[in-house]
Chains A and B, each alone.
Chain A
């Protein structure tokens, strides 16, 4: 499968714990995006990388959230000191260039208990 891959698919964690998600984009895609989707809502943009450079961060991305793409390939999204409000589906997407369609992974569903 050469699509966008996300790991894990599901994560249950206790409030206050740290979690890390991984995204492997389509190999030739230099742009990588993270979105968050809660029930009944559309995906909300979190952050965007072009190669290894993080070029944009939404104000939704609080100080507890950090994302990296160290070698311009896979990316990680870490949430520190998780809160119940962090429970959501975290989606990763990749694309070849600006303003073209992005291809989405199946997401990581986070439940904070």
Chain B
């Protein structure tokens, strides 16, 4: 079975500072990893993904994430936070183990609060 852990329920960052939202995963097989963002009263929006290749992936709105296979982590990062980045962030994983689940397994989410 695959799982995702987001160890922080909430992350507080001052505007202009770098931010990190943590995610670790567990899968049998190689992982596909995703970050989604959810704003109030809006659907989940895709930010970025890791499928294969470079460990550092860049996505929407200046976000990036680093895949670390040895630590089974996929932390979301941004060099300079904006107040508008305040939202609920979800990490998700799927595994191409052949014949396995095609649906995503999500973490519980991390509230990111950017303080002016």
Bin chain B's interface residue count.
Answer: 20 to 34
For A91, give its contact among B43, B46, B101 (CB under 8 Å).
Answer: B43
Counting CB contacts under 8 A, is A104 at the interface? Answer: yes
Number of CB contacts from chain A to chain B under 8 A: 64
Interface segment out of the listed A11-19, A39-47, A73-81: A39-47
Chain A residues with CB under 8 Å of B49's CB are 100-101
* Contact across chains for A42 and B103 when beta carbons are under 8 A apart: no
Q: Give per-residue flags for B27-61: 1 if the beta carbon is below 8 A from chain A beta carbons, else 0.
A: 00000101010000111111001010000000000
Residues on A with C-beta less than 8 A from B32 are 99
Q: What range describes how many residues of A lie at the interface?
A: 20 to 34
Further 8 A-B residue pairs, CB within 8 A, beyond A42-B90, A101-B49, A104-B43: A4-B43, A40-B109, A42-B108, A42-B109, A45-B101, A48-B102, A100-B49, A104-B44
- Residue numbers of A with Cβ under 8 A of B are 3-4, 31, 33, 35, 40-48, 55-56, 58, 91, 93, 98-107
